[in-house]
Each structure stands twice: as C-alpha cells, then as structure tokens.
Amino acid sequence: MKRIDEKIQEIEKKDKQSRGLYIGFVVLIICFMGVVLFFTNKIEEKNKEISDADIRESKLFQKVEASNLRNEALVDSLQNSLKPEQYWEHVNKEQSVESYIEFLTNIWGIGRKSEDMDTAKSKIQESNTIGMSGWVYVGNETENGPFTKPTKGQIAKIIWRQGQEEQNELAKIVDTKPVKYDIIKLVKATNRITYENANFNSTQNDEGWRPSSKAFIYDIKNNDAEVWVRIKYY
C-alpha cells in the first residue's frame, strides 16, 4: 500500500510541476505580447508626431524647394531677358532642327511672330539645317476606313499643330492621322528606325529617331494601307 501511495504522490507532484510550467509559459507569452504592444503604440505615436511642418522643416524638403525656386527663376529670367526678336535671332544662328522645333512648340513661352513661325517651318526642311531626315511608319488607313494605330501600339503622338496649340485643341487631334507641318513625339521606349523611302524594304538610315524626342513632318504618304511620314529629327 505504501508503494502505491508513494506512486500517487509522485504523479500528483509531477502534475503540479507540469501545471506550473504551463502557467509560467502562458504568463511569459502574455508579457511578451504586452511588450510588443507597448512598442507598437510608441511607434504609432512617433509617426503621428511627424507632421507637415516637420516635413517642411527637413533639410531634404528645403533643398528640393530651393531647387524648384531656382528653376522657376531661371525660366522667368530667360523669358524676361529675351525679346521675341532676340529669341528668333538666337534660333536662326543655331540653325538646327531641334532649335526650330522648340521655337515652334514655344517651350519657353516667349512671344513669336507668325512670319517667323512660317520661316521656321521652311528653314527646318532645308538640307543644311543641323539634324537628320527619313521616313517612318506611323499607322494604317484603308481607302474608306479611319486612321488606326499600328497593331503593336502607338509609335508617335501629335504634340503641335499650328492653330491648335491649346491643350483642349491638342487633345482632339493627339491620336489622329498626322498632317504636313505637324510636330510629333516618339512614344516608343526604343530608337525608331527611319528609312530613305516610305517602305520597310528601303535602306535604313544610320541614325534612328531617339525615344521622347520630337520630329517635324514635312511630307506624308500612303503606301497601300500603311501611313508613312517624312520627318526632320535630331
């Protein structure tokens, strides 16, 4: 009997020890969760303390703000320092496709005379103007159907047409068939091959049309259903 009692006591003792360890383990987990919650709340409180005022007072924000102000000042300075006649004289001296295109699209907001714009459109086509020329495929058009983009996606978009320079006017024509004297921008992410003639079997030009750069259309041709434009580009 004594041995059985002793066995029972041993079992009860081990059971108490197990329950003690279990309770201790649970308490430890609760404490750990409490610590995590405490620090999480601290982090959230810290984040709330970072206000717009703090951001504006940061050195990085101030550097960016100062850079923006300098850029705005440079644009204002250029607009105020160059009269329309001086600007046109500068463009004529440079005599490049790029300068004539920037003059026509008026990225600097400097006034231009209509006769100077007509001269720019004429000079940009001259062989001695610095830049390249070639034919590029831009879309399709059947005899009775509308102009459509290439099956592999849009190649170029219209960014300037004389008389339709306002944004609301441009929005109406940006994806339509280009016309002579339009200025277009390459939207493809890679260089676009240009050709000596308006077909893919023609000789390729040495210099392609660079992504995001602009081009001036001075001729347009339909080759069966393909629409090709002859451009001056840089």
The per-residue pLDDT for 178 is 96
The per-residue pLDDT for 29 is 67
The per-residue pLDDT for 166 is 80
- Contact in structure between 113 and 88 (CB atoms under 8 Å): yes
Bridge-based pairing of strands 156-160 and 183-186 is antiparallel
The per-residue pLDDT for 120 is 97
Q: How far apart are CA 229 and CA 221, in angstroms?
A: 6
What value, to the nearest 5°, has the Cα angle with vertex 88 and ends 87 and 90?
65
89-141 pLDDT, tens digit each: 999 999 999 999 999 999 788 888 999 999 999 999 999 999 999 999 999 99
The per-residue pLDDT for 110 is 87
Q: Please state the separation of Cα 91 from the chain's center in Å.
A: 27
Phi and psi of 99, rounded to 5°? Answer: -65, -40
The per-residue pLDDT for 185 is 97
- Mean pLDDT for 160-171 is 87
The per-residue pLDDT for 130 is 97
Phi and psi of 106, rounded to 5°? Answer: 60, 55
Q: How far apart are CA 19 and CA 136, in angstroms?
A: 84
Q: How far apart are CA 67 and CA 61, in angstroms?
A: 10
- Contact in structure between 120 and 147 (CB atoms under 8 Å): no
The per-residue pLDDT for 1 is 47
The per-residue pLDDT for 2 is 47
Is the pLDDT assigned to residue 231 strictly greater than 50?
yes
Report in angstroms the alpha-carbon separations of 85 from 54, 81, 122, 162, 183.
47, 11, 18, 20, 23
8-58 pLDDT, tens digit each: 555 555 555 555 555 665 566 666 666 666 666 655 655 544 555 555 566
The per-residue pLDDT for 105 is 94
**Residues in the chain, how many?**
234
